[in-house]
Structures are given as C-alpha cells and as structure tokens.
Amino acid sequence: MAYPREFMDELIARSDIVSVVSRYVSLTRRGSGNLGLCPFHNEKTPSFNVSSDKQFFHCFGCGVGGDVISFVMKIENIEFPDAVAKLAEWAGMEVPQSTYGEGERNKRKRAQEACRDAARFFHERLKADAGAEARKYLLGRGLSPATITRFGLGFSPDSWSELLDSLTSRGYSKTELLEAGLVTTGKAGRIYDRFRGRAMFPIIDVRGTVIGFGGRIMGDGEPKYLNSPESAVFNKRKNLYALNLAKTSKADYMLLAEGYMDVIALHQAGFDSAVASLGTSLTEEQAHLISKYKSRVVISYDSDKAGRAATERAIDILSRSGLDVRVLVMTGAKDPDEYIKKFGRDKFAKLIDAALPAAEYRLGAVKQEFDLSDDKQRVIYLKSAVAQLAKLSSTIEREIYAGRIAEETGVSRDAIIQEAVRERKRLIREKKREEEKRILDPVGAIMPKDREARYKNPRSAVAEEGLITLAAGDVRLALRAAERISGKMFSSELLGRVFDVCITRARSGLETDMSVFSEGFSEDETAHIAAVFARNSELSADALADLMDIVRGESIKSEADTSDAALLAAAEFYRKKKGVGNT
C-alpha cells in the first residue's frame, strides 16, 4: 500500500473537502451540496459543486472533479505525495514512510537526474570546439555569455550516440534514457541520440528541475525546433518555459511570448516575467498556471498572420481563467527580440504600458480588414464590430467601444448599442439552446470525455452508474448487490473497476468515498467518477433491484450476442476451409 491505510483514512477524515476548497473558492450552501465559481475555468454562474457527504468536487461546466487530494493536486499543480504532505501539514499530521508509486517515483527521479546530466553535457559541448557554430548562432542573436549560462543553453553534437555513450558510462540504462526522452529508437531497433546538431534549450519546471529540452537545428533540416516527447517528467501542456524565473518577477503582469529566443531576449532586456508555451498552442492548464502567479497577462506574439491567429486563440483561453488579458501591438518588427534590437528596451517598455485590452485589440484587428470610406465595406465592418461588442458582458465596455465605432463610421452610438444588445440576446438564446440540447441528450450527458472509456452500452452504463453510487455510500446495499453482480458483468470497464473497489471495501465494513480513487485511477477517470456520483446523488435505495436487473440482463444479452458472433465466424471459417461454394 502506498501510505498506511490508517494514515490515509485519518488524513481524509481531518481534511474535510468543503474546508479545504474554501481556502481557494467562496462556497455557498445549496441543498445537500456547496456551490461556487469554478477555479479551473472562468464562469459567472456557479456550477462548481462540493459534496460534504461524499467528499468530492465536480464542476458541471468544465467537467473537472475528484476528491480532496486531487483538488489540491490540480489547484496547486503538484503531484500526489506533495498534495498528501500539504494536507497533512494543514491537519497537523506527520507523513509516514511511504511506498507510494515507488517504481514510478524512482523512474521520475532517474529521468530527472538524466535530464540534469544531459543539460550539463550539452552546456559543456557548447563551450567546446564542437559547439562553435551554436555559440556563433547564440552570440549572433545578441545573447551575452551571462545569459547563455543563466538559461543553461547548450549544444547537442551531430553524432548518433555521443550523449548515449556519455550517460550510459555514468550508469544510466538505455531504458532510463528512453523514458527520459533523451534517446529514441529507429526502425531496426537501434537506439540513438534524439537531439543531434542542435542548439539546446533546457526546459526547467517551476521547482527548478530540468524536465526536457527544445533543440534548434543548426543549418538546414526539419523540424527547425525539436522538443522532448511526453515522458515521466515532461508534460508540455502543464509547463511554461522560464516560469521558474518569471514566477519571482516584481512585474504585476506575465509577458507571454511565442518562443524560447523571444523569452530569453526579453529576460536579458530586463523583462523578467516573460514565459512561453512549449512547442504547442497555449493550453487551459498553462493559462491556469499563469493565473496562480499573476492576475494580468500581456500577449506578445509575433506580428505575422500566424502570430495574430495564435493571439486570438490565447485571448479566449486566458480569459476563461479569469485573467485580465492585454495585447501588445508591434509595428516595424516581427517579434519582441527583433523589436528590442531595432528600437531599444525603453520603447518596448512603452509598448507594454500601451498594450490594448482584448476587446479593443479585436476591434482594431477587424477594422484593419476594411476600407471605411466605402459604404459597402463600412456596413460589413459594422456587422463584424457589433458581433465583437455582443461578446462583452460589461455594459460600460459596450458603450465605450460603441462610441468609438460611431465616430469611425458616422453611425449613431445608440443604433450600434441597440444592434449589439440584439446580437447579445441572440447569442445568449443560442447558448441556452445548446445547453438544453446537451442536458436533454441522455447519452451525451453521461459519456466519459476519454474516447477509450466511452460507453458501448449506454442503457447498461446508466444502471451501472447508479449501482456504483449506491454501493459506494451504503455498505448493506453494496453487499446485496455483490450477491448478484460483479464488475465483470459491467459493460464499462471503468465502472466495473469502481464497483469491485466498493465491494472490497464493503466486505471490510467500509463505505467508499472519492479519496479511495486517488490511487489506481487516472485524473480523467476520477473526474468522471465524481461526475457519476454528482448526477446520481439523489438516487433512492429502492432502485437497487431494478438497476441490478438491467445490468444482469444486458450482460447476458451481450454474452449471447458474442456467442452468436463466434458461432457465425466459426461456420464461415469451416465453409472456406472445406471449399464450400456459395449457393
């Protein structure tokens, strides 16, 4: 067992989920639950439910859910042992020696150590003769030796196995290096260095641990940038480049740039709150990570078409995390690095001060597409601008921007506001219809988000959901169900596993709360289990017999269908083997 069961039971007993969540979210008692605004996405109507009876949380808006431990893990962006330690500290308990995920923990530790030693290897190679081209490139981009050292930049030799040979000589196995993403396997099974002939950018997490790398190729070749694969330590969706440095910045904003070089150049120029996503578009997890450190973010992406498109996507994602989003507008340069080189640090600082609110930026972007001296284009612009105004929830904002649009187009401010209000009502009606459609779709409402876990038999799955809810909360009901039902009879493998856990605990006289699923279940799985408990919370014990009948009936039907299919397949095989022709 990871931690002694007695310790975990006492920790959970002392860590009331309502009290813990209330450290981060303002909750209001509603019936048998507690409601608040979800801390994991931006919302104006509370849909974040916390159950004191079942000790779980679930957001009906974004679908996130779990127990008190998974809540702390998600809100603090920490691993299971760290969340246990934090809860134990709040509860005044000492954490005992644990075997939690010992194999996984050792794997993570070795991967971290391998990445650390690889970073040292790359940095040493940059200073050696072999790194001359990479040094020339980095210095040519205006980076000082001190900046190169601060960011731990390096060079991966254009060799098939130099890193592999170096690290295996230090005691790392090839399996460990594969798991760390430092080497890769070819078609013939040969293992070789993943990064070759590239300037190397170590990716360091918020705790200062090297977890991966980005590599820029020297000379021609594709891909231009190569990042570490997902590994035991590297998750690109949940990390930001240079956050380990930016988190201590005294600036009251986070500066979001597009790539490694932009971030490094910005830090060198004194803009030490700069970060970047890791070879992918900005994610919800990264936006939430930013919101933990700053309430305002300034987007400073490239000024080209791709950069503008990325800005549009980022605005929506950052806004959903409740951040005050501003957009820096550059002219005369394609990115922050080039702008600072051409115009200097002070002018770039003025651009940050003049960064536009997201709504103003979007209206400006729309305006650039039209010639307002042409009546037809002016009409099209007005429709586009009104569509942007309709998305603003603030009446004051709508009125201010409507006044500006009126001045630009010669159309009355009242007419523009009237059109915006009409369009906003239409959007609200459309959203309401979509929500009603989702609620009225019984199959869609219950389906797990993970495609691999999606229900193959929704009729049985609905009954299975009811069974695990009743079995989790009442030992007597669980034992009654176990007389006729087993997890193997469930159409959903996930729900079957949950049922078996409930029965095992019931046979020891224990009910099952969400904390039990902190081990052995993925984050998506625990979120789905919490959703199941939430939507079945009012289920009556009188439904037990009917639910068991459905599950048993569907299981027998499935077995019969499988048997029929097997018989037909066998008959077809026999017919072909004997050369029986079609009649």
Q: Which pLDDT belongs to residue 177?
A: 96
Q: Which pLDDT belongs to residue 581?
A: 44
Identity of the highest mean pLDDT range in 278-282, 441-445, 563-567: 278-282
The one-letter amino acid code at 85 reads: A
Arithmetic mean of pLDDT, 529-540: 86
Distances in whole angstroms, Cα of residue 169 to Cα of each of 116, 130, 240, 324: 15, 20, 32, 50
pLDDT of 572 over the 60 cut:
no
Q: Distance between CA 194 and CA 226 in Å, rounded?
A: 9
Distances in whole angstroms, Cα of residue 465 to Cα of each of 67, 446, 499, 512: 18, 9, 9, 14
Among candidates 106, 120, 233, which has minimal Cα distance to 173?
106
Q: Are 554 and 562 in contact (CB under 8 A)?
A: no
pLDDT of 118 over the 60 cut:
yes
Q: Distance between CA 545 and CA 537 in Å, rounded?
A: 17
pLDDT of 112 over the 60 cut:
yes
pLDDT band at 71 (very low <50, low <70, confident <90, very high): very high
Collapsing DSSP states into helix, strand and coil, what is residue 56?
strand
Residues linked to residue 324 through DSSP beta bridges, in sequence order: 296
Q: Which pLDDT belongs to residue 568?
A: 52
Q: How many residues does the chain have?
A: 583
Q: Distance between CA 472 and CA 530 in Å, rounded?
A: 12
Query: Comparing 171-180, 240-249, 271-280, 437-446, which segment has the lowest mean pLDDT?
Result: 437-446
Residue 363 class from Cβ within 10 Å (0-12 exposed, 13-18 middle, 19+ buried)? Answer: buried
Q: Distance between CA 500 and CA 458 in Å, rounded?
A: 20
Mean predicted lDDT score pLDDT of the chain = 88
Residue-wise pLDDT for 146-162, tens only, equals 999 999 999 999 999 99
Q: Are 278 and 266 in contact (CB under 8 A)?
A: no
DSSP string, 281-312: ---HHHHHHHHTT-SEEEE---SSHHHHHHHH
Residues 69, 56, 531, CA angle at the centre, nearest 5°? 120
Residue-wise pLDDT for 275-333, tens only, equals 999 977 898 889 989 998 999 999 999 988 889 999 999 998 998 888 999 999 999 99
Helix axes 395-409, 413-440, angle to 10 degrees: 130
Residue-wise pLDDT for 477-527, tens only, equals 999 999 999 999 999 999 999 999 999 999 999 888 887 887 778 888 888
Q: Distance between CA 290 and CA 282 in Å, rounded?
A: 11
pTM of the model: 0.72
Q: Which pLDDT belongs to residue 44?
A: 78
Q: Which pLDDT belongs to residue 98?
A: 63
Percent of the chain with pLDDT over 90: 63
Q: Which pLDDT belongs to residue 583?
A: 37
Q: Distance between CA 385 and CA 364 in Å, rounded?
A: 9
